[in-house]
Amino acid sequence: MEEKRNDSHNGNAQEKIEQVERMMINTISETMDLYGVTPAVGRLYATMYFKHEPITLDEMKDALGMSKPSMSTSVRKLQDINIVKKVWQKGSRKDSFIAEKNFFNYFSHFYGMKWEREVNMYLVSLKKAQEQLKEVIEDPETDEALREKAELDYQQLEDARVYYRWLEKLTKLTKSGEIFDYIPVDEE
Amino acid sequence: MEEKRNDSHNGNAQEKIEQVERMMINTISETMDLYGVTPAVGRLYATMYFKHEPITLDEMKDALGMSKPSMSTSVRKLQDINIVKKVWQKGSRKDSFIAEKNFFNYFSHFYGMKWEREVNMYLVSLKKAQEQLKEVIEDPETDEALREKAELDYQQLEDARVYYRWLEKLTKLTKSGEIFDYIPVDEE
DNA sequence: TAGTTTGTTAAGTACAAATTGAATGTTTCT
DNA sequence: AGAAACATTCAATTTGTACTTAACAAACTA
């Protein structure tokens, strides 16, 4: 019978940790893909996520095997969406960066920004659109077929307005963090 | 002084309606851009949004000045995210499609799907990762520096797990529509 | 069953985005 | 102030994506 070697005893713990990190880095970058960042940028964040101290552009470059300009622009994108911060490192002239690891903050910021922009665009357009349609509807000289079309459009936009009012509310709760009062984080 | 013409009386109501629709179509396609569909696909949805009856591929093609295969693939993408439905039209051999106009449904479905996928990917990876790390941590032969690293990683992933448990909850509430109980739609 | 109409797949092209080495700015140190 | 060390911008190339025409497949009509 083949000798059984218990890898968890003689095995390389280092290798095991690295394997775990590789797996999580893949998962993180794949999902960040869904959050409006390119796979390369996502992979950079995921890599930084497992560095427990700030890292420099040169270290990023080495870790990912990419160019420094690429790291420079990627890390800026991550700063733009507030999940990476620049930190000052004593004794080093290089810029250092550290990943924001609190996903709750990430959620609040990402959806806060995203929804806010959408809500504003819609509410502005809807207001104008409904005013215009109202004029058509209330004009006694408008012929019947057109008035009907205008009324259909108007009602449809009114439904949209109700939705965007709701989304506006959700956005405010998300940005302020109050959403975690409405939908609490379960303790275990 | 220049003669003032009151467009709301002598003006073309038809033109006014079309102008409103053009504006809203722009707004809708710009924002859908933020929802993982290309601008062309967003524009197709926006166009269908103002058709108050089902339309065919040929009508889409004419409305947007694009090719039919393009309409075919675009409309399928819209079906995939459940905001367009195929409907049967009596007496026509052509397929007809109609836009889902309830944005609340759209919200539930879109974020339900999106978050669900993300949550599943994470929870599976996190479970495996934490199991592996636990082995390293509990192995008495692991040297101290590695154990420390493993523990840091473990705790970080535990924080992530709490977040994804919360997102899982939010996802369920969103898919089921219960979210509208937690965060009610204001009546006016 | 032959001939149309309609929808989809496939191949090719044009366009847009990402990446890099080289060049240019900018800060820090002496 | 001048030099050295970093970071960023720029131009050019590569890579990837979206769209179109053309060919194909399926469904209907007569």
* Residue of chain B with shortest Cα separation from A117: B31
Residue B172 CA from chain centroid, whole number: 16
* Residue of chain A with shortest Cα separation from B166: A185
Does residue A1 form part of some domain?
no
Contact A169 B182 (CB under 8 A): no
Does residue B120 form part of some domain?
yes
Residue of A7, A87, A74 whose CA lies nearest to A37: A74
Distance from CA of A5 to the nearest CA of B (A): 15
Say which amino acid occupies B159: D
B57 and B12 in a common domain: yes
B156 and B85 in a common domain: no
**For the segment B90-107, what is each residue's pLDDT rounded down to a tens digit?**
888 999 999 999 999 999
B169/A contact by beta carbon, under 8 A: yes
**For the segment A117-135, what is each residue's pLDDT rounded down to a tens digit?**
999 999 999 999 999 999 9
Does residue B30 form part of some domain?
yes
Does residue A188 form part of some domain?
no
Does residue A2 form part of some domain?
no
**What pLDDT does A33 receive?**
83
Residue of B26, B37, B29 whose CA lies nearest to B81: B37
B16 and B92 in a common domain: yes
B166 and B148 in a common domain: yes
Which among A101, A118, A135 is the end of a domain?
A101
pLDDT of residue B6 exceeding 70: no
Tell me the pLDDT of chain A averaged across its residues. 92
- Of B2-16, B43-57, B159-173, the least confident: B2-16
A111 and A96 in a common domain: no
Which among A101, A131, A153 is the end of a domain?
A101
Does residue A108 form part of some domain?
yes
- B69 CA to D20 C1' in angstroms comes to 9
**For the segment B31-63, what is each residue's pLDDT rounded down to a tens digit?**
998 888 899 999 999 999 999 999 999 999 999
Say how many domains are in chain A.
2
B93 and B14 in a common domain: yes
Q: How far apart are CA A178 and CA B71, in angstroms?
A: 42
pLDDT band at B167; cut points 50, 70, 90:
very high
Can you give the pLDDT of all 188 residues of chain A as single tens digits?
Answer: 444 444 444 368 999 999 999 999 999 998 998 888 999 999 999 999 999 999 999 999 999 999 999 999 999 999 999 999 999 988 888 999 999 999 999 999 999 999 999 999 999 999 999 999 999 999 999 999 999 999 999 999 999 999 999 999 999 999 999 999 999 999 77
Nearest residue, CB atoms, A16 vs list B17, B136, B159: B136
A111 and A61 in a common domain: no
Residue of A110, A114, A17, A18 whose CA lies nearest to B163: A110
Q: What share of chain B is helix, strand, coil (3-state, %, to 5)?
A: 70, 5, 25
CB A41 within 8 Å of CB A81: no
CB B19 within 8 Å of CB A103: no
Which among B101, B133, B156 is the end of a domain?
B101
Contact B166 A133 (CB under 8 A): no
CATH of the domain at B40: 1.10.10.10
CB B183 within 8 Å of CB A163: no
Domain that holds residue B132: 104-182
A152 and A92 in a common domain: no
B84 and B14 in a common domain: yes
pTM above 0.75, yes or no: yes
Does residue A42 form part of some domain?
yes
Does residue A20 form part of some domain?
yes
A168 and A83 in a common domain: no
A93 and A118 in a common domain: no
Tell me the pLDDT of chain B averaged across its residues. 92
B97 and B15 in a common domain: yes
Q: How far apart are CA B42 and CA B62, in angstroms?
A: 16
